[in-house]
Amino acid sequence: MRLFPFFATLTLLLCSTFAQAATLNFNGGAVSGCSLSPDGLQYTCGSLALGSTDVIVIGSAYGVTVNGSLAMSYNQGLTMSGNAALTVKGNLDIKDINPSNLKVTGGNLTALGGTFLMGAQEQTVTANISATTIKMGSNNVKVTGKISAKGPVEIASGSVINGPISGTIVNILAASTRIQGDITATTSLTIGSGSQVTGNLKSPTIDLKASGLLVTGDVEASNSLSIASGNGIKGNVDAGEVTLDSSNAYITGNAKVDHITLGWQGRVQQTITCKAYTPSNPCSCVTNNSGWAFNEPMGPKCGPGTQAAPHHFQIDHPGTALTCAPQTVTVTACADAACSAKYTGGVDVTVSPGGTLTPIGNSGVATASVRQYTVGTATLSLTSVPGATDALVCKRSSDNSNSCNMAFAATGLMVTPTNHISGTQSSFGISAVQASGDQQACVPLFANKNKDLTLACGYSNPASGTLPVFIKGTGGFIALAANNSSACSILGKTVNLAFDDKGVAKATMSYADVGKVNLKATYTGSSASGDTGLSMTGNADVIVVPDAFSVVAIANPQRAGAPVTVSMSALNSAGAVTPNFGNEKPSETALPTLASLVRPTTIEISNPAKPDIQGGVVFKNGSVASSDMNWPEVGTITIAFKLANPKGYLEANTAVPTLPKPSRVSEEVQFIPHHFITELIKDKEADQPKVTDGIARPCAAPLTCANDGEQGRYAYSGQAIGVRVTARALGGATTANYDERNPSAMAPVLLEGLDAATGTISFPPSTPDGSSRLTDGSKAQTTVTGVAPAKFTLGIARTMVAYRFPGKAGVPVTVAPTDVLLRASSTYPGVAVVSSSSALIQNEARMTVLSGQWQVAHGYGSELLPVRLAVQVQYWNGTKWITNLLDSISAFNKSQVVFVNCKKTLDCSKLAADDLAYAVVQGALPQANRLTLLAPGAGKAGRVDVSVGNHPYLASTVGVVVFGILRSGPVIYLREMY
């Protein structure tokens, strides 16, 4: 009968064990401990007491408010969808929920007055999240929805956020987080390396950590903005103090700043505007350490910011007009004195004489017309709303002057060329006209006659050139220059033209260069032609565009992130270089694009890194003169170029809509890493080795270690420590395609341990083969010469490596503490060497290597009792062995204790150490955990040599232990009785 209670209890336990998890359904029905609002949609619960496997399910359109905190564990679950809402008055902690149990596909999660936590697991939710504090854990999370905090927000590395983020202090941890949405922080914003943000950033203080970080959007930082090396902002910046660190930090848009410091190869691709703008010194707020001078193609360019009105207007006009027809002119709203930037705020202008109101939109340019019915010279002028701050500027193409005077005549020549492709033959008309009797219309002056006209050409944009315009009238082509290979001449040449019954003569022009050129026609009457005293002139501009870009020539290999030298030219229809391309103001150029990623293929890597081509090229005299174009990855690609100006060459798109043609695709270009970095893996890092002695330890007095920018680190000779080798682009971005799955991008990686001071193998005392070596840290100390390609994943390899002093294994060597650096290098075909060595930046792991040993004390005692020995870990300081007080890691076990040279009746094979974990504390085994040698037993007396001789990297002294000898004098032996 006494067994009955036992079986009853056992049955109860078994039933409890196999009980089903409870589900709390909030879908309109009753839920214990919760009240329901009159409309049946809102639950209010004092608390939710959940079992270890319970699941909360909130239906769409239902809301649950918990009047207290809620923390959920691994085996619990949460399901929400649609417009479901969970509001907790306190902390809401879902970080430990098994990802498969977290099924939030819509709704709102709110922690009123508390902290929202998720992400101890790789969790995914689709919901809006709000709280006082938001912490998105130590693991990758994926959130689709708005994230809003009254306090700080912290998001784990590798997370994916699709939605806006706001808080007081927002911290996006390194590395490789992806965010689609604006980020607003009222105090500060920090974004870790490798992250990608598509959205605008706004915070008083913004810090974009190195490297490989890209923001696609505008950035506003009222106090300070720091852009670390290799990071970029594809957008405009409005900030206080701005710093672009060395090297290759960049802003593609405009920057309006209190002050900006450009580090090495730092670049603002558009205009820098000093908020305290001084027209006489527009770059007064710029500290330029970029290596490029002000106003060089790659250097900083400064100008005024957004203005309430244009700086001035510029009218481009031919200089002549007819009283019988309106004359078109081009009006530009200029934002600065040089008109290098256009005013885009919108303005209405009226040009005189005779003009009508003409709106100028955000392009900053418009075509207007002027008219005067009387013969004479008029001075062009204009009025505008809003008005300009400076005086009107004119550009007269007839004589390439700055005159605003326009001559109106009753008779004249109308020249009507059309924009066309360089090197082709383009037909155009020249009309000889005169005013009708009422001055309202133009009528032909010449009909069915041949006339000799003087035709001349001039350069408008660029303002000079080297090649002439050829004109064909009734005869052959004639160069409007001194000879067929010289530049345009203002004197021009006589060309015979045939005027038809409408008074129009057809001519053909050909120009082997590009740009805006001016054609001027002049007729002077004579007695022979019966029109003595008749003098007519007319002129017009024509834009001649390149036909295509040449084949792109790029040498192999190129380095990731480094400027690529490009050989390419703008060509005419005959395939000849057009020497004026790139000399325009503003200059024209070509935009590089990634034509294809050849390798890695998607078979090799399912989702390879495929960033855009960055930077660009600068043309001069028709060919690429300089380049900061780069690709921040490794792999094999092809590159093409297209005209950068979206409105066409010199904005001639309306007339020549598809030219110049894009370039042909380049040959395959291989990109290799720019450099490696080697790092010591540190405690608590995600890739920390599992073995406790697998990291180099921090230094402290009295030990002085190699300078690594921190306190320094040390390891023992032969001790395997975690080392990280990363392939990087210039600027510091990790090249993710450097991966063992992409073998075409890789070359054998050599790993060396070198003298930190000299970078050579010059110490310690050399081995017979003349070298020191790296090993795997095993007992055999097998030589390591490099990092296997199979260890590289997404650009990073992790390996265990030891630096070993020469000497016999297991025997202490007296080598003083030695500063060592770890260098990684690869040699590609063509002798391109990728290395971690750098004269500018410390890219190499540094540590101090110690010659270490176990110091085993002597001892004696009864053969019937254990003997406990003091053991220390020591290093050679250059003069003597001293205890390493910094070491609380080194350890050994009983299998590493060696017994040899047994004397008398001792049998070494029968001796053993107690099965304990022997770990030092501040360099010595604690008193309570000394090395314990088990008693050999009665009749087993004698001497034995004891060492920690099987330790993989620490040598050992030999302690002599004698069993069977009692201490002299009065001794009380204690033994516990059981």
Please report, as a single letter, which amino acid is at residue 98: N
Q: How far apart are CA 749 and CA 794, in angstroms?
A: 15
Classify domain 411-545 by CATH number: 2.60.40.10
Q: How far apart are CA 127 and CA 80, in angstroms?
A: 9
Q: How far apart are CA 418 and CA 656, in angstroms?
A: 9
* Number of other CB atoms surrounding residue 130 within 10 Å: 20
Residue 736 in contact with residue 810, Cβ under 8 Å? no
Q: Which H or E element spans position 362?
A: none
CATH class of the domain comprising 853-963: mainly beta
Classify domain 548-671 by CATH number: 2.60.40
- Residues of the chain scoring pLDDT < 70: 1-21, 175, 305-306, 439, 653-660, 662, 761-772, 809, 966-978
The count of C-alpha atoms lying within 13 angstroms of the C-alpha of 844, restricted to the half-sphere facing its C-beta, is 24
User: Is 312-409 in CATH node 2.60.40?
Assistant: yes
* Residue reference for tokens 């070198």: 754
Q: CA gyration radius for the chain?
A: 41
* Residue reference for tokens 């855009």: 612
For residue 661, give the DSSP letter: B
Residue 744 in contact with residue 599, Cβ under 8 Å? yes
Q: How far apart are CA 523 and CA 540, in angstroms?
A: 15
Residue 169 in contact with residue 187, Cβ under 8 Å? yes
DSSP strand pairing (955-956 vs 42-45): unpaired
Q: Which residues of 672-705 are buried (b: 16+ CB within 10 A; e: fewer)?
A: bbbbbbbbbbbeeeeeebeeebbbbbebeeebeb
Q: How far apart are CA 550 and CA 548, in angstroms?
A: 6
Q: Which two tokens stand for residue 755?
A: 């003298």
Is the pTM for the entire model greater than 0.75? no
Q: Which two tokens stand for residue 887?
A: 């070491």
**Smallest Cα–Cα separation from 594: which of 671, 536, 501?**
671
Residue 337 in contact with residue 304, Cβ under 8 Å? no
The count of C-alpha atoms lying within 13 angstroms of the C-alpha of 647, restricted to the half-sphere facing its C-beta, is 5
For residue 663, give the DSSP letter: P
Q: Which two tokens stand for residue 789?
A: 């390609």
* Number of other CB atoms surrounding residue 970 within 10 Å: 5
Q: How far is CA 218 from CA 126, 172, 255, in A?
A: 26, 18, 10
DSSP strand pairing (147-149 vs 128-136): parallel
Residue 919 in contact with residue 890, Cβ under 8 Å? yes
DSSP strand pairing (70-71 vs 85-88): unpaired
Tens digits of residue pLDDT in 21-31: 689 999 999 99
Q: How far apart are CA 471 and CA 506, in angstroms?
A: 11
Task: Give the model's pLDDT for residue 295.
Answer: 74
* Residue reference for tokens 């000079």: 464
Helix-, strand-, coil-residue percentages of the chain, each rounded to 5: 5, 45, 50
Helix residue ranges, H only, 502-613 = none
**Smallest Cα–Cα separation from 429: which of 329, 362, 536, 503?**
503
Q: Which H or E element spans position 13?
A: helix 3-17
For residue 390, give the DSSP letter: S
Omega before 698 within 30 of 0, i.e. cis? no
DSSP character string of 395-436: EETTTTB---EEEEESEEEEEE---EETTSEEEEEEEEEEE-
Q: What are phi and psi of 925, to 5 degrees?
A: -65, 135
Dihedral (C-alpha) 324, 326, 327, 332: value to the nearest 10 degrees?
A: 160
Q: Which two tokens stand for residue 176?
A: 């490789």
DSSP character string of 257-319: EEEEEE-TT-EESSEEEESS--TT-TTTTEEE-SSS-TTSSSS-EE---S-SS-SEEEEEE-S
Helix residue ranges, H only, 716-805 = none
Q: Residues 82, 151, 184, CA angle at the centre, nearest 5°?
A: 75
Q: How far apart are CA 416 and CA 430, in angstroms?
A: 6
Q: Which two tokens stand for residue 929?
A: 């955990």
Q: How far is CA 606 from CA 160, 445, 602, 795, 949, in A?
A: 19, 74, 4, 15, 49
Q: Which residues of 186-200 are buried (b: 16+ CB within 10 A; e: fewer)?
A: eebbbbbbbbbbebb
Q: Which two tokens stand for residue 493?
A: 């040449």
Q: How far is CA 454 from CA 146, 493, 540, in A?
A: 71, 5, 14
Q: What are phi and psi of 100, to 5 degrees?
A: -70, -15
Omega before 936 within 30 of 0, i.e. cis? no
% of the chain with per-residue pLDDT over 70: 93
Q: How far is CA 362 from CA 219, 310, 388, 646, 907, in A?
A: 22, 12, 16, 15, 98
Q: How far apart are CA 631 and CA 563, in angstroms?
A: 8
Count of residues in the chain: 978
Q: How far is CA 964 from CA 123, 911, 934, 967, in A?
A: 65, 14, 13, 10
Task: Give the model's pLDDT for residue 967.
Answer: 54
* Residue reference for tokens 């852009």: 227
For residue 450, give the DSSP letter: E
Q: What are phi and psi of 520, to 5 degrees?
A: -120, 130
Q: Which two tokens stand for residue 181?
A: 């949405």
Give every CB contact of residue 326 below 8 A, 6+ residues apart in sequence.
Answer: 354, 369, 370, 371
Q: Which two tokens stand for residue 943?
A: 């001497």
For residue 693, give the DSSP letter: T
